[in-house]
Structure 1
Amino acid sequence: MEIKIIMLVLFFASMTVVGVYARKHSSSVDGFVLGGRKAGPWLTAFAYGTSYFSAVVFVGYAGQFGWKYGLSSTWIGIGNALIGSLLAWVILGRRTRVMSQHLKTRTMPEFFEKRYGNKGLKLAASAIVFCFLIPYTASIYNGLSRLFGMAFHIPYTYCVVAMAVFTGVYVILGGYMATAINDLIQGIIMLAGIVAVILAVLKGQGGFLEAVKQLSELSSDIPVTLGQKGAFASFFGPDPVNLAGVVILTSLGTWGLPQMVGKFYAIKDEKSINTGTVISTLFAVIVAGGCYFLGGFGRLFDGSEIRSKTGEVIFDSVIPHMLSSLPDVLIGIVVVLVLSASMSTLASLVLTSSSTLTLDFLKESIWKEMSEKKQVLTMQICIVLFIGISVVFALHPPAFIAQMMGISWGALAGAFLAPFLYGLYWKRVTVQGVWAGFLSGVGFTVGNLFVPVIPSPINAGAFAMILGLVLVPAVSLLTKKPEKSQVDAIFSCYEETVVITKKRSLEP
């Protein structure tokens, strides 16, 4: 217990020190929200990766989908790396940085307003961001608190409150730069921790080959396998169709999440894009791939500890139970690992929500003459507000972690992915097409809760994204073209001439 407490104290102390150090970068709005657009490749890449993966992945998703799909759940991590990281950086990174700077936008709702010339889009987008980041935040509290309960036997409520307080402290102190520096530190912990945990868990099962052998012997009496033997150790697992839905939601979904896309706004230079692409992809392979690979062995740890009184599996307890028998030092590493993942994601969420509420709603509709200093102060107050609401929500969670995250990602990415992606590449997108994307993403996700056309919130979220990708261009083509001169002026940023060295390009 002493070892675990010492590790936690050092972790929280380092976060606070970074928050104090980064205060000099947070005096202006650009500094507080984007770090002055001076984040280098390592900071940007780790900020992206650590915002992507949290306790939701390690505890909720790895536990639930590892149990359902066995080793094939590793495909989710591979999809996260290739689609959610590599392709996201290649397709969105440079264009987002160039256009957001050209339009002088600092948030995604502000991008929608200036890209499409409609203030209503900004207000609607800011409301969607604030409302649907709350269940995602609550799911992170939920996952981390279960692990804390296993390691320290601390009541759930105390875990949630303590985590909220420490996150609020360093974000309020240092803004984006504090979160970016802490993300780098936390990301290194995550990389080392996940490798150590996987090796320890497999060793406890007699090694990798023995664990796979045991997993392959499960199947005949489990309904999902349809009598197929070895399904949980197979290439695509017992249910490849639903597995594909999870891959789409957790991978393509990042393209439309404001807290993820916002990382591209803060990129420093061309080198940061190229290096950041490689770093974030490798980070995702190790962290996401490792989490789901570990979760794939969950069925080897079946027992009363992870089942309810009725015999149903409590998915959020699978990973904590798998780790409960590890040595204290490794449990301490696991706790710090998941704490790192969770607090970095939480910091990104609360910063995104507070900046959106302040810049896109309050300054736009209520307090139009807000000074620079008052904008920063208001964002800090909104951070406290958002954390407070999410804590209340976390203390009364309505569903499993994965379902809560699925609803949040489904609504946000379903609403924003298509309007944002097409807005970077296609001049023909209309305001009506964007509204269609907003309404279809939020409408389908929320409507599906009351009338479950698609029973799984995960698959419903994936469908909402695909629906937006179809509806936005369809409605745009059926409505009046946007003013050519205005659109040409927006896209002119991509045609500006820049001079670079031969080291960066072989072109004459």
Structure 2
Amino acid sequence: MVTRWIVLCVYLILMVGIGVYYKRKTASVSDFVLGGRALGPWFTAFAYGTSYFSAVIFVGYAGKFGWAYGVASTWIGIGNAVIGSLLAWLILGKRTRAMTKHIDAKTMPEFFEKRFNSKTLKTVSALIIFIFLIPYTASVYNGLSRLFEKSFHIDYEWCIVAMAIFTAVYVIMGGYKATALNDFIQGIIMLIGIVAVVVAVLNVNGGFSGSLEAMGVIPDANGNTEVYNSLMGPDPVNLVGVIILTSLGTWGLPQMVQKFYAIKDDKAVVTGTVVSTVFAVVVAGGCYFLGGFGRLFMDANEAGAPVEGFDAIVPSMMDSLSSGLFALIIVLVLSASMSTLSSLVLTSSSTLTIDLIKPLKKNMSDKEEVRTMRIFIAVFLLISVSIAVYSLRGSKQDTMVISSLMGISWGALAGAFLAPFMYGLFWKGVTKAAVMASFICGVGITVVHMLIYTFGIISDAPTKLGELNLASPVNAGAFTMLLGLVVVPVVSLITKQNDEDKALTEEMFKCYQA
């Protein structure tokens, strides 16, 4: 326990120290939000990867989907690396950097406003971001509290509050530059930590081959064996839904896409693509591979679910580790989570300030903007902490598990933004009506699904369509993303741009000719 406390305190002091250092170097809005658009490839790649993977992945998703799909859950990590990192950088990286710099867009709502010549799209998208980043932030706190309660025997409410305060301190002081340097340090810890944990956990059951053999003995719901150690697992249909949500979703998440805004040049994009992909293979692949062996560390109840809940699986696996390695795991999960939290709160506060507050207050100076962002960081954290505490109390634990909170958030955000953002970078013919239609579909479907299945307003709603789980917020989120890819081109073809919009679009696309 002493070792754990020492490691934790040293880590937190380092993070706050970086925030203090960069406070003196953060003067303008561009510095605070994008690091002056001057970050190199390694910093940007690590910022992308550490924002992608947090306690949500390591504790929530790895535990739940590892339990559901066994070793086949590793496919989720592979999908995250190939689709969520490699293809995202290859397809979006250069064009996002070029266009956002050309039109001087610092946030995703600002991109929608200037790309489609619509203040309405800017306002609506800003509200969507602020509202639906909150459940994602709450899910990160949820994952952190599970592990800290297990390792330090501290009540989860105090864990959540403490992490919120530390995150607020270094983000409020240092902005994006402090976040990026912290992300780089945190990323190195994550790479080392996940490899060490996978090896240590597998050794508990006789190494890789012994663990696979032990997984093969466990029967599925139908009594079949050799299922949880198979290549595709017991439920490949719903596994695809998880891969789509967690991989394709990054293409439409503002806190992820904005990393491309800040990168220095096209050469940095190439290097960042390689670094980010390798990072995702190790971290995401390692997390889901580890979670695939969760059934060896926790028994199932009569309903086939883990006796202590899905979010307790990975923390229970950690009980088998040595004190020193457990301390490394604490820092690993804390690193992953604080980097994600910092990205979320910075995205939310900058969106509110630049896209909602500044238009209402004329002649707002850079200093006032930065101060307002810092205030909204505190407000955002306060709201998300409240939701996290609420979701962990009593009966709420059954419906508000980590995967549900993240599914709701990613489904709404990526369902609303992915298609119009991507098509907007490549196709001149996207219309305002198509963008708004995507916003309505993404948010509308997510909210309706949440009301029906998460809060149960229709008690006899169908939960299955063949093998497909209709009640899963993950599958609902995957559906909204794919639907947007169809809605935007269809609506664009049946609606028209006016002459002013056409002229502005032609001007914007000149950035790709340079």
2:287 to 288, 291, 297: 291
Deviations 1:361-411 (A, max 9, x none): 0112x3232111100000001101111111111110151100100000000
The residue aligned with 1:440 is: 441
The residue aligned with 2:465 is: none
Do 1:129 and 1:353's aligned partners in 2 also have CA atoms closer than 8 Å?
Answer: yes
The residue aligned with 1:495 is: 513
Identity %: 60
In 1, Cα distance between equivalents of 2:64 and 2:16: 34
In 1, Cα distance between equivalents of 2:257 and 2:505: 22
Do 1:415 and 1:438's aligned partners in 2 also have CA atoms closer than 8 Å?
Answer: yes
Superposed, 1:39-54 pairs within 5 Å as 39-54=39-54
Alpha-carbon offset, residue 307 of structure 1: 9.5
Superposed, 1:197-216 pairs within 5 Å as 197-216=197-216
Deviations 1:39-93 (A, max 9, x none): 1011000000000000000000000000000000000000000000000000000
Do 2:201 and 2:320's aligned partners in 1 also have CA atoms closer than 8 Å?
Answer: no
Superposed, 1:62-461 pairs within 5 Å as 62-219=62-219, 222-223=220-221, 226-303=222-299, 314-364=309-359, 366-397=360-391, 398=396, 399-452=400-453, 454-461=470-477
In 1, Cα distance between equivalents of 2:6 and 2:451: 47
**Which secondary structure state, in structure 1, belongs to the residue aligned with residue 497 of structure 2?**
coil
**Which secondary structure state, in structure 2, belongs to the residue aligned with residue 233 of structure 1?**
coil
Do 1:362 and 1:368's aligned partners in 2 also have CA atoms closer than 8 Å?
Answer: no
- The residue type equivalent to 2:172 in the other structure is I
The residue aligned with 2:491 is: 475
Deviations 1:426-456 (A, max 9, x none): 0000000000000000000111122357311
In 2, Cα distance between equivalents of 1:72 and 1:170: 38
In 2, Cα distance between equivalents of 1:270 and 1:465: 28
**Alignment gaps of 5+ in structure 2:** 454-461, 463-469
Alpha-carbon offset, residue 13 of structure 1: 0.9
The residue aligned with 1:505 is: none
Tell whether 2:30 aligns with 1:30. yes
In 2, Cα distance between equivalents of 1:385 and 1:307: 42
Do 1:66 and 1:73's aligned partners in 2 also have CA atoms closer than 8 Å?
Answer: yes
Deviations 1:142-193 (A, max 9, x none): 0011100111001001100100000000001110000000000000000000
Q: 1:3 to 1:444 in 2, by over 3 A?
A: same
Which moves more between the two structures, 339-348 or 226-235? 226-235
Which moves more between the two structures, 389-398 or 100-109? 389-398
In 1, Cα distance between equivalents of 2:331 and 2:205: 24
Do 2:39 and 2:262's aligned partners in 1 also have CA atoms closer than 8 Å?
Answer: yes
Write out the 4+ residue segments of structure 1 that deviate beyond 3 Å after TM superposition: 306-313
State TM-score, norm by structure 2: 0.93
The residue aligned with 1:499 is: none
Deviations 1:232-279 (A, max 9, x none): 111111000100000000000000000000000000112210110000
The residue aligned with 1:466 is: 482
Alpha-carbon offset, residue 16 of structure 1: 1.1
The residue aligned with 2:466 is: none
In 1, Cα distance between equivalents of 2:280 and 2:333: 15
In 1, Cα distance between equivalents of 2:452 and 2:166: 39
Which moves more between the two structures, 111-120 or 396-405? 396-405
The residue aligned with 2:457 is: none
In 2, Cα distance between equivalents of 1:24 and 1:83: 38
**Which secondary structure state, in structure 1, belongs to the residue aligned with residue 228 of structure 2?**
helix
- The residue type equivalent to 2:371 in the other structure is L
- The residue type equivalent to 1:479 in the other structure is T
The residue aligned with 1:486 is: 504
- The residue type equivalent to 2:503 in the other structure is S
Do 1:358 and 1:378's aligned partners in 2 also have CA atoms closer than 8 Å?
Answer: yes
Which moves more between the two structures, 366-375 or 84-93? 366-375
In 2, Cα distance between equivalents of 1:122 and 1:176: 22
Do 2:299 and 2:307's aligned partners in 1 also have CA atoms closer than 8 Å?
Answer: no
Deviations 1:312-348 (A, max 9, x none): 5500000000111211111100000000000000000
Do 1:430 and 1:482's aligned partners in 2 also have CA atoms closer than 8 Å?
Answer: no
Alpha-carbon offset, residue 309 of structure 1: 13
- The residue type equivalent to 1:296 in the other structure is G
Do 2:106 and 2:261's aligned partners in 1 also have CA atoms closer than 8 Å?
Answer: yes
**Which secondary structure state, in structure 2, belongs to the residue aligned with residue 303 of structure 1?**
coil
In 2, Cα distance between equivalents of 1:110 and 1:234: 46
In 2, Cα distance between equivalents of 1:251 and 1:94: 19
Do 1:307 and 1:313's aligned partners in 2 also have CA atoms closer than 8 Å?
Answer: no
**Which secondary structure state, in structure 2, belongs to the residue aligned with residue 480 of structure 1?**
coil
